[in-house]
């Protein structure tokens, strides 16, 4: 150890990284920036930073850049801090990031000659870029796992409710009969594309900046492949300048989450509407509802309202993440590189929570199949099939059949009659009025066309709600879900195994 620069000397000295400036940081700068930034890092990346110190230290020793004894001393302290948690690192609001306090703790404990060697060949730029990527990667894996769980629940419920007939809507109006299972399967398919987007974001976040240094790597013979592997990354983020300057990993992740959040909000909106007295299609479980302080009859869909609000916050996080980088230089600057961490991780955490909540809401629903079927029969959603029957039975063009049915529907509405009251005579009058001749359709054909269940059974074209087509699609979707789950398990397993290996090697080296 260098004479005069002992550990005891540094324990009694205000060691920091502020030698270049004479004044302490402004109290307002601390309040607005330093203190919350360090608090976020303590909560989000402390464990990742300890892991990264271990990986970097192991690499320095293996490459012969720093002597084994010095690295062993540093790693012993790092492992001790990792075990004790963030409170093991004193914070006094004089530094802008967690690493500055960690290094001060190491140097004060071991002295500048030993403690100062762990940072060899490294910058806060590449270290912070790495640890926040590790945090984002972990949150995205958790969000993807919750998304896969929701997809699985949707597929299971889609099979259960594949024959529960209800009205399908376009523009808020009765369109054609569907089943509740068909609605659930459509949601599952949309979520499968969200899984693909999220998997893409995960692949791009799964690249390691460590070893990039400040922006041009270093003259020390670092092994970046080794540190990337020890940290569970698929590979290094190769070009150093890119590694410390780009945050498209966060932007892409939040963009994928924002698209997902929009779908979750739309699904929640449907469920909220269908749970009202006016629809009466379904009821939420009591555990997902709140009550009124004044109106004793109220059962408010609190869980769904929360999902919609949280979805808005996730989409707001995308605006914040994009805005932070706009009009910044393509380099390591705090607003473009560091500021995006908070909205990105917040979006991932919120998404994971509302995914799990929506899955629970769906599992707790009580359906009212009789009311749903009655609404489908009373509405005019079967009008399209009635026009199709006219085409098949009479030889008229579809446009002519459309005109006839539209006139019959209008007259029924004006007379206050529902769709299931339409008869062949109504069609004959309309056809004679429009085209000079009646249709003379069999009454059984008219009744079958107006039956919502028969409408659904007739929709056997690929992608339709017919039972046999539903069975085919469900089987295919289960296969896709299994493949997606296996890919995620492989990535998560690789990350977990790398952590176990890295910390075990660190303990062995530390003795």
User: Which one of 77, 95, 119 terminates a domain?
Assistant: 119
* Segments of 162-273 assigned E as strands: 165-170, 173-179, 207-208, 235-236
Q: How far is CA 88 from the centre of its chain?
A: 33
Q: Are 93 and 30 in contact (CB under 8 A)?
A: yes
Question: Is residue 38 in a domain?
Answer: yes
| 3-class secondary-structure state, position 208 | strand
pLDDT tens digits, residue range 200-218? 999 999 999 999 999 999 9
Structure tokens at 215: 């922006």
Domain hosting 339: range is 126-370+473-499
3-state secondary structure string across 428-480? HHHHHHHHCCCCCCCHHHHHHHHCHHHHHHHCCCCCCCCHHHHHHHHHHHHHH
pLDDT at 17: 66
| 3-class secondary-structure state, position 156 | helix
Closest CA to 225 of 238, 244, 243: 238
Question: Is residue 505 in a domain?
Answer: no
- Model confidence at 9: pLDDT above 90: no
- Model confidence at 10: pLDDT above 80: no
Is 364 found in the same domain as 296?
Answer: yes
Is 389 found in the same domain as 309?
Answer: no
- Model confidence at 3: pLDDT above 60: no
Phi first, then psi: give them for residue 282, nearest 5 degrees.
-155, 170
Is 306 found in the same domain as 248?
Answer: yes
Strands 207-208 and 235-236: parallel
Mean pLDDT of 117-127: 97
Q: How many domains does the chain have?
A: 3
Is 327 found in the same domain as 312?
Answer: yes
Phi first, then psi: give them for residue 342, nearest 5 degrees.
-65, -55
pLDDT at 4: 45
pLDDT at 250: 97
Question: Is residue 378 in a domain?
Answer: no
pLDDT at 153: 98
Q: Are 253 and 201 in contact (CB under 8 A)?
A: yes
Question: Is residue 14 in a domain?
Answer: yes
pLDDT tens digits, residue range 463-480? 999 999 999 999 999 999
pLDDT at 19: 74
Mean pLDDT of 112-117: 97
Is 495 found in the same domain as 351?
Answer: yes
Is 331 found in the same domain as 201?
Answer: yes
Closest CA to 191 of 345, 354, 364: 354
Is 318 found in the same domain as 179?
Answer: yes
- Model confidence at 55: pLDDT above 70: yes
pLDDT at 487: 98
Alpha carbons within 13 A on the beta-carbon side of 390: 28
Question: Is residue 181 in a domain?
Answer: yes
- Model confidence at 75: pLDDT above 60: yes
Question: Is residue 53 in a domain?
Answer: no
Strands 173-179 and 207-208: unpaired
Mean pLDDT rounded to a whole number for the chain:
94
Mean pLDDT of 173-195: 97
Phi-psi region of 173 (alpha: psi -120 to 50; beta: other; left: phi over 0): beta
Is 106 found in the same domain as 26?
Answer: yes
pLDDT at 20: 75
Please report, for the domain that includes residue 477, its CATH number.
Answer: 1.20.200.10
Is 349 found in the same domain as 240?
Answer: yes
Phi first, then psi: give them for residue 165, nearest 5 degrees.
-75, 140
pLDDT tens digits, residue range 368-425? 999 999 999 988 989 999 999 999 999 999 999 999 999 999 999 999 998 889 999 9
Question: Is residue 1 in a domain?
Answer: no
How far, in Å, CA of 364 to CA of 511, rounded?
Answer: 53
How far, in Å, CA of 404 to CA of 491, rounded?
Answer: 59
pLDDT tens digits, residue range 217-242? 999 999 999 999 999 999 999 999 99
- Model confidence at 14: pLDDT above 80: no
Is 70 found in the same domain as 12?
Answer: yes
Helix or strand (DSSP H, E) at 367: strand 366-367
Is 304 found in the same domain as 408?
Answer: no
Phi first, then psi: give them for residue 28, nearest 5 degrees.
-70, -35
Question: Is residue 468 in a domain?
Answer: no
Is 445 found in the same domain as 342?
Answer: no
- Model confidence at 322: pLDDT above 70: yes
pLDDT at 138: 98
pLDDT at 22: 82
């Amino acid at each position: 150890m260098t004479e005069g620069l002992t550990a005891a000397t540094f324990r009694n000295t205000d060691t920091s990284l502020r030698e270049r400036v004479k004044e302490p940081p402004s109290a307002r700068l601390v309040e607005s920036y330093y203190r919350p930034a360090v608090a976020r890092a303590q909560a989000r990346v402390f464990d990742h930073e300890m892991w990264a110190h271990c990986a970097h230290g192991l690499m320095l020793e293996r490459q012969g850049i720093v002597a084994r004894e010095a690295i062993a001393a540093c790693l012993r302290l790092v492992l001790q801090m990792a075990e004790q948690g963030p409170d093991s690192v004193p914070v006094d609001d004089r530094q802008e990031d967690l690493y500055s306090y960690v290094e001060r703790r190491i140097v004060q404990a071991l002295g500048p000659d030993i403690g100062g060697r762990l940072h060899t060949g490294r910058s806060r730029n590449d270290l912070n870029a790495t640890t926040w990527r590790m945090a984002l990667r972990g949150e995205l894996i958790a969000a993807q796992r919750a998304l896969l769980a929701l997809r699985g629940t949707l597929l299971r419920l889609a099979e259960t409710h594949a024959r529960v007939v209800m009205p399908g809507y376009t523009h808020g109006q009765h369109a054609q009969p569907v089943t509740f299972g068909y609605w659930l399967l459509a949601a599952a398919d949309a979520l499968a594309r969200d899984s693909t987007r999220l998997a893409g974001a995960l692949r791009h976040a799964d690249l390691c900046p460590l070893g990039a240094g400040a922006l041009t790597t270093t003259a020390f013979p670092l092994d970046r492949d080794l540190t990337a592997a020890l940290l569970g990354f698929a590979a290094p983020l190769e070009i150093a300048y890119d590694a410390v300057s780009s945050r498209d990993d966060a932007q892409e992740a939040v963009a994928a989450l924002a698209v997902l959040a929009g779908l979750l909000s739309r699904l929640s909106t449907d469920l909220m509407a269908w749970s009202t007295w006016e629809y009466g299609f379904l009821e939420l479980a009591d555990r997902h509802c709140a009550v009124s302080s004044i109106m004793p009859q109220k059962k408010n869909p609190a869980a769904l309202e929360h999902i919609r609000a949280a979805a808005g916050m996730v989409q707001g996080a995308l605006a914040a993440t994009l805005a932070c980088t706009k009009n910044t230089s393509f380099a390591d600057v705090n607003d473009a590189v560091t500021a995006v961490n908070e909205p990105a991780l917040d979006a991932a955490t919120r998404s994971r929570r509302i995914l799990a909540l929506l899955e629970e809401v769906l599992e707790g629903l009580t359906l009212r199949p009789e009311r749903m079927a009655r609404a489908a029969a009373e509405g005019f959603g079967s009008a399209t099939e009635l026009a199709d029957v006219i085409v098949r039975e009479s030889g008229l063009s579809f446009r002519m059949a459309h005109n006839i049915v539209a006139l019959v529907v209008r007259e029924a509405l004006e007379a206050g009659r529902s769709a299931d009251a339409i008869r062949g005579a109504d069609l004959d009058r309309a056809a004679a009025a429009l085209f000079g001749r009646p249709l003379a359709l069999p009454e059984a054909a008219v009744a079958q066309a107006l039956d919502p269940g028969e409408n659904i059974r007739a929709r056997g074209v690929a992608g339709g709600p017919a039972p046999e087509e539903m069975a085919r699609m469900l089987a295919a979707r289960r296969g896709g879900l299994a493949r997606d789950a296996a890919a995620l398990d492989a990535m998560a397993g690789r990350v977990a195994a790398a952590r176990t290996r890295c910390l075990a090697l660190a303990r062995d080296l530390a003795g």
